[in-house]
């Protein structure tokens, strides 16, 4: 079956612009996660959705970052007034359930964001 997909695969924008990054999780997966990965670093947690609601957004660096998942499936990560420091690979992951025993997270290929 299809895995997690993310679009676009690459996004180049100018400082100050607004960007949206899309994640299509595996069908039926309840939990969805966004991570940010800088060059040479491990993925850094941003936000977690359980269904439609953001259960934990403690990883979002500031109020320029926002994410939604209105129908409990596709999620969009939105970044306002982009800064050069936002340049990174943004990874999305989904898992079948959340809570209780660990459920494996399946990662998408990521969106490489470059802010000029």
Partner 1 sequence: GENVGLHLPTLSVQEGDNSIINCAYSNSASDYFIWYKQESGKGPQFIIDIRSNMDKRQGQRVTVLLNKTVKHLSLQIAATQPGDSAVYFCAETYSGGYQKVTFGIGTKLQVIP
Q: Which residues bind partner 1 (CB under 8 A)?
A: 4, 31, 33, 40-45, 48, 50, 55-56, 91, 93, 95, 98-110
Residue with Cβ nearer partner 1 (20 or 44): 44
Least distance from partner 1 to the Cβ atom of residue 15, Å: 25
Own/partner pairs for 9-14, CB < 8 Å, 24+ apart?
9/109, 9/110, 9/111, 9/112, 10/111, 10/112, 10/114, 11/111, 11/112, 11/113, 11/114, 12/114, 12/116, 13/82, 13/113, 13/114, 13/115, 13/116, 14/82, 14/115, 14/116
Least distance from partner 1 to the Cβ atom of residue 43, Å: 5
Residue with Cβ nearer partner 1 (52 or 80): 52
């Amino acid at each position: 079956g299809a895995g997690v997909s993310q679009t676009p695969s690459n996004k180049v924008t100018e400082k100050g612009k607004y960007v949206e990054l899309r994640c299509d999780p595996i069908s039926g997966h309840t939990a969805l996660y966004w991570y940010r990965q800088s060059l040479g670093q491990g993925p850094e947690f941003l936000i977690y959705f359980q269904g439609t609601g953001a259960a934990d957004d403690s990883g979002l660096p500031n109020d320029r970052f926002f994410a939604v998942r209105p129908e409990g499936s596709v999620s969009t990560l939105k970044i306002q007034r982009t800064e050069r420091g936002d340049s990174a690979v943004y990874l999305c992951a989904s898992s079948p359930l959340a809570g209780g025993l660990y459920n494996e997270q399946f990662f998408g290929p990521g969106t490489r964001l470059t802010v000029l």
